Amino acid sequence: MKRLNTLNPGFENDFASLMADRSSEERSVAEPVRAILADVRTRGDEALCDYTARFDRLTLSADKLRISAEEITREADRVPADLMDALKTAARRIEAFHAAQMPKDLDFTDDEGIRLGMRWTALDAVGLYVPGGKAAYPSSVLMNALPARVAGVQRVAMCVPSPDGVLNPLVLAAARLCGVEEIYRIGGAHAVGAMAYGTERIAPVDRIVGPGNAFVAEAKRQVFGHVGIDSIAGPSEVVVVADGNNDPRLAAIDLLAQAEHDEQAQAILITTDAAFGDAVNQAVLTELQTLPRTAIAAKSWADHGAIIVVKDLEEAARIVNQLAPEHLEVLLDEPRAFSGLVRHAGAIFMGRYCPEAVGDYVGGPNHVLPTSRTARFASGLSVFDFIKRTTTIEANEAGLKKIGPAGVALAQAEGLDAHALSLSLRLDQL
Ligand SMILES: NC(=O)c1ccc[n+]([C@@H]2O[C@H](COP(=O)([O-])OP(=O)(O)OC[C@H]3O[C@@H](n4cnc5c(N)ncnc54)[C@H](O)[C@@H]3O)[C@@H](O)[C@H]2O)c1
Ligand SMILES: N[C@H](CO)Cc1c[nH]c[nH+]1
Ligand SMILES: [Zn+2]
């Protein structure tokens, strides 16, 4: 864990190295991922089976890549009723929030008599990545699949690894709840490659969405352009902004809630109170002694964790904006005022009773969020990742007469004579 204090002379250097930390890790997986993607493109299903044996310890033949309808039913039926109720509560809230996002088409005639429009169309085929290496993520099934369903996507395929061949009943129950039937038991970069390029058994999709580890995030980055992606939603991150008026244990647990996802996850505390920072660190070390996922969380905290002491909340906000974290938790009396200063964060959790875990499961907004400072330009998953726009222009003689001559002038200025003629020949007929 790094300790930083904005009053220390070396602060700028320390902070720069904290920010560089994320990108150096991404660079280290770029070459292995490139090789995996190239191999999947060349050898298709055979490569998928080889990588699944190597990384997930599961020997497969190509005809077993897809999880059968019988397996889905068998596993999903094993989920106890109370857990199904929890899943339905989450699904209801997530679906309602995403339904509220759906935009309206535009259709109007402007002052010059031209009818203009913009209509939204759902994508034909999307691929959902649901992580499953170090933990199972039924919640990510809901977060991926429900916006796709709300948007009206026709074909929804899903990849989820099953380490050692073990299927997760709740993951399959969540898929069934969302109407997802095309599910492949593969993960990692090779699953992303399969959905992007297609193989003998897996038809390619138009866009790949969903979170994953560094290999998955890098694979999505590399297939972008061939297919669309939502964002770089890699190893989890949280920045907790807290004054000294908090329970150090709660702040510590909130940091560990992200650290326990992955050794590469990053949890950062920013505080105006140095003594509180020390107390939180002590509480982290205490909690690590009993948390079941200690090995992962302790490595994340040791390698990527940080406590930054700032002189005031304005300084805290400036640092948050530079970090552009996936999640920002604001443990202050006036969280709304502070969040007004924040321009770059995937999602903000406001108030002492709104830990980030609310958003992971039952808040409603999506938990698939941009990491590695990409919240400077990217947003969390939403219905907008499953729809696209087409604009329309409709002009009659009167309209063309009004706006056509300006078009002719601009076409001639660009030296594009056929463009100019396309307009002027029609104008000449009027
Ligand atoms: N940003 C978000 O929105 C968000 C949401 C949920 C989870 N997450 C993150 O998703 C990740 C989930 O990671 P996970 O590991 O549990 O599941 P995962 O499915 O993302 O990754 C597991 C797969 O990675 C591949 N893999 C493992 N080691 C490899 C290697 N050395 N070379 C190539 N491929 C390899 C394997 O195929 C394995 O099945 C965590 O980092 C978590 O923080 C992010
Ligand atoms: N915090 C993760 C996003 O970084 C999402 C998640 C799912 N389950 C638990 N947490
Ligand atoms: Zn989480």
Q: For the segment 43-102, what is each residue's pLDDT rounded down to a tens digit?
A: 999 999 999 999 999 999 999 999 999 999 999 999 999 999 999 999 999 999 999 999
Task: Give the position, in ligand 1's atom list, of the atom nearest the Cα of 367.
Answer: 3
Segments of the chain assigned to CATH 1.20.5.1300: 396-429
Buried b / exposed e across 334-368, counting CB within 10 Å, b at 16+? Answer: ebeebbeebebbbbbbbebebbbbebbbbbebbbb
Give CA separation, 32 vs 189, 345, 412, in Å: 9, 30, 51
Q: What tokens does 331 get?
A: 């443990």
Which residue in 26, 3, 25, 29 sits closest to 14, CA to CA? 3
Q: Which atom of ligand 2 is nearest to the CA of 236?
A: 4
CA torsion, ordered 293, 71, 171, 256, to nearest 10 deg: 10
pLDDT of residue 24: 72
Compute, in angstroms, the gap from residue 379 CA to the centroid of ligand 2.
16
**Do 265 and 235 touch, CB atoms closer than 8 A?**
yes
Return the residue whose CA atom lies nearest to atom 7 of ligand 2: 360
C-alpha span between 234 and 265 (Å, rounded): 9
| Bind-site residues for Zn(2+) | 258, 261, 360, 419
Average pLDDT score over residue span 255-284? 98
Closest approach atom of ligand 2 to CA 326:
4
State residue 21's pLDDT score. Answer: 82
Q: Active-site residues: which are they?
A: 326-327
Instruction: Return the pLDDT at 27.
Output: 81
- Which of the pair, 219 or 21, is modelled with greater confidence? 219
- Residue located nearest, by CA, to atom 8 of ligand 2: 360
Report the separation in Å between the CA atom of 258 and the middle of ligand 3, taken as the mean of its atom positions: 5
**235-367 belongs to which CATH class?**
alpha beta
- Which of the four pLDDT bands, split at 50, 70 and 90, describes residue 336? very high
pLDDT in tens, 23-47: 777 788 999 999 999 999 999 999 9
Q: Which of 190, 105, 101 is nearest to 148 (CA)?
A: 101
Q: What is the mean pLDDT of the chain?
A: 97
CATH of 28-104+120-230, one of 3.40.50.720, 3.40.50.2300, 3.40.640.10, 3.40.50.1980: 3.40.50.1980
Residue whose structure tokens are 């990510």: 140
| Protein residues within 5 Å, CB atom, of ion ligand 3 | 360
- Among 137, 171, 254, which is best to mutate for testing ligand 2, by the most ligand atoms less than 8 A from CB? 137
Residue nearest to atom 25 of ligand 1 (CA): 188
Residue with tokens 């989890």: 236
Q: What value does the mean pLDDT take over residues 262-271?
A: 97
- The pairing of strands 182-184 and 207-209 is unpaired
How much is the pLDDT for 26? 76
Question: Can you state the angle between helices 169-177 and 81-101, rounded to 10 degrees?
Answer: 40
- Counted residue by residue, the chain has a size of 430
- Residue 122 neighbours by CB distance under 10 Å: 16
At 337, the pLDDT band (50, 70, 90 cuts) reads very high
Q: Quick one: tokens of 170?
A: 């709740």
CATH class entry, domain 396-429: mainly alpha
Residue-wise pLDDT tens digits, 375-393 = 999 999 999 999 999 999 9
Q: Of all residues in the chain, what percent carry a pLDDT higher than 90?
A: 98
276 lines ligand 2 (CB under 6 A): no
Q: Assess contact for 134 and 296: CB atoms under 8 A.
A: yes
Q: Which of 55, 140, 213 to mutate to test the pocket of ligand 1 (most atoms within 8 A of CB)?
A: 213
Residues of the chain above pLDDT 70, percent: 100
Report helix, strand or coil for 373: coil
Q: What is the pTM of this model?
A: 0.97
Cβ 254 vs Cβ 287: under 8 Å: no
Give 307-367 as a DSSP string.
EEE-SSHHHHHHHHHHH--SEEEEESSSHHHHHTT----SEEEESTT--HHHHHHTSSS-S
The pLDDT value recorded for residue 23 is: 75
Feature table: binding site for substrate: 236, 258, 261, 327, 360, 414, 419
For residue 46, the CA-to-ligand 2 centroid distance in Å is: 32
What is the amino acid identity at position 77? D
Residue 76's closest CA among 145, 183, 159, 171? Answer: 171
Instruction: Compute the distance from residue 305 Cα to the ligand 3 centre, in Å.
Output: 16
| Residue given tokens 């691929």 in the structure block | 127
In the chain, residues under CATH classification 3.40.50.1980 are: 28-104+120-230, 235-367
